[in-house]
């Protein structure tokens, strides 16, 4: 252990220079950014799919069927596979697309599938009679969704949705396989440049924790806050 410790002490000043810190910060921002953008777009698209699946109009039946197909398919494909499929699908069409953008598209595709299931469970937790009451008061479908159903679904939607985002902060590590310079890739670079793996991966470990811990706390807070009462 002594030798490892001596090596860490020796490397630390060089490791924690401003260039490396900036590099780490950028990688952390990329990890967080891809997750935030991917999950936000995924949430909106997932909401649209969930609403579509909950609709009863006969004309939407083919669209509903496609939505089910999409959700069930993407939830069964490993994220790494989606990443490479998206990479090889996009690159011929948009040769200039950045790897980060491509990875973000892959995150959107996957998070849409998962979040639509989370949103659907939330929407279905609201009794159908709430919608009927809105209907007879002449609420249109959109107004009923945003003013009656969705506000009552947050307590069911938010805890698992936040948990999903926390999980995805970690899963973006897979994007390092296609060369996106996020946290895990940054760790590999440090090791390749000769730093001790304990130092390189130790630093990104701390950063992963720093990114996901506040979000986990937020999830726990929301769960506690939203659980008992149905009103805000």
Partner 1 sequence: MPQLDIRDLHAHYGREPVLQGVSLSAERGEVVGLIGPSGSGKSTLLRALVGLTQPSAGEVLVDDRRIDYRDRASQRWLRERLAIVFQQYNLFQNMTVLRNVTIAPLEIQKRSKAEVEALATTLLDKVGMGHKRDAYPDELSGGQQQRVAIARALALRPEILLLDEVTSALDPERVNEVLDTIRALTREGITMLIVSHEMAFVREVSTRVVMMDHGRVVETGPPAQIFDTPREDRTRQFVSRILRH
Identity of the residue, 9 or 229, whose beta carbon is nearer to partner 1 in the bound complex: 229
Q: Taking the C-alpha atoms of 153, 156, 158 and 164 in order, what is their torsion angle to the nearest 10 degrees?
A: -130
Identity of the residue, 95 or 232, whose beta carbon is nearer to partner 1 in the bound complex: 232
- Alpha carbon of 80 to those of 23, 24, 83, 87: distances in Å? 24, 23, 5, 11
- Alpha carbon of 36 to those of 16, 49, 62, 108, 138: distances in Å? 27, 19, 31, 10, 37
Q: How far is the CB of 226 from partner 1 (least distance, A)?
A: 11
Considering only residues 115 through 154, tell me which ones interact with partner 1, judged by CB under 8 A. Answer: 127, 129-130, 132-139, 143, 147-148, 151-152
Identity of the residue, 121 or 198, whose beta carbon is nearer to partner 1 in the bound complex: 121
Angle, vertex CA 86, rays to CA 84 and CA 91, nearest 5: 100
Asked whether position 229 contacts partner 1 by CB under 8 A, the answer is: yes
Q: How far is the CB of 138 from partner 1 (least distance, A)?
A: 5
Q: How far is the CB of 21 from partner 1 (least distance, A)?
A: 46
Question: CA 92, CA 149: separation in Å to the nearest integer?
Answer: 43
Helix (H) or strand (E) holding 200: helix 197-226
Q: How far is the CB of 218 from partner 1 (least distance, A)?
A: 21
Identity of the residue, 67 or 148, whose beta carbon is nearer to partner 1 in the bound complex: 148
Q: How far is the CB of 136 from partner 1 (least distance, A)?
A: 5
Residue 98 carries which DSSP code? -
Q: How far is the CB of 56 from partner 1 (least distance, A)?
A: 11
Q: Taking the C-alpha atoms of 175, 176, 182 and 184 in order, what is their torsion angle to the nearest 10 degrees?
A: 120
Identity of the residue, 143 or 224, whose beta carbon is nearer to partner 1 in the bound complex: 143
Q: How far is the CB of 210 from partner 1 (least distance, A)?
A: 35
Question: CA 80, CA 180: separation in Å to the nearest integer?
Answer: 13
> Site for partner 1 (CB under 8 A): how many residues?
20
Identity of the residue, 21 or 133, whose beta carbon is nearer to partner 1 in the bound complex: 133
Angle, vertex CA 118, rays to CA 31 and CA 71, nearest 5: 85
Identity of the residue, 56 or 76, whose beta carbon is nearer to partner 1 in the bound complex: 56
Asked whether position 227 contacts partner 1 by CB under 8 A, the answer is: no
| Contact residues: partner 1, CB under 8 A | 127, 129-130, 132-139, 143, 147-148, 151-152, 229-232
């Amino acid at each position: 252990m002594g030798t490892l410790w001596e090596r860490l002490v020796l490397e630390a000043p060089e490791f924690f220079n401003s260039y490396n810190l900036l590099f780490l910060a950028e990688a952390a921002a990329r990890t967080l950014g891809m997750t935030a953008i991917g999950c936000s777009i995924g949430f909106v698209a997932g909401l649209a799919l969930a609403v579509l699946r909950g609709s009863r109009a006969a004309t939407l039946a083919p669209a509903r069927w496609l939505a089910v197909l999409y959700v069930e398919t993407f939830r069964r494909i490993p994220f790494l596979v989606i990443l490479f499929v998206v990479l090889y699908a996009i690159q011929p069409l948009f040769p200039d697309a950045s790897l980060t953008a491509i990875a973000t598209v892959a995150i959107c595709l996957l998070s849409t599938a998962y979040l639509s299931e989370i949103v659907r469970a939330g929407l279905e937790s609201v009794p159908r009679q709430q919608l009927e009451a809105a209907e007879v008061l002449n609420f249109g479908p959109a107004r009923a969704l945003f003013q009656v159903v969705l506000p009552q679904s947050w307590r069911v939607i938010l805890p698992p949705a936040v948990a999903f985002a926390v999980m995805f902060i970690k899963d973006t590590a897979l994007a390092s396989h296609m060369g996106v310079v996020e946290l895990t890739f940054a760790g590999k670079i440090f090791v390749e440049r000769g730093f001790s793996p304990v130092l390189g991966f130790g630093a990104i470990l701390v950063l992963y924790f720093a990114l996901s811990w506040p979000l986990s706390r937020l999830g726990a807070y929301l769960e506690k806050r939203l659980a008992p009462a149905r009103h805000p």
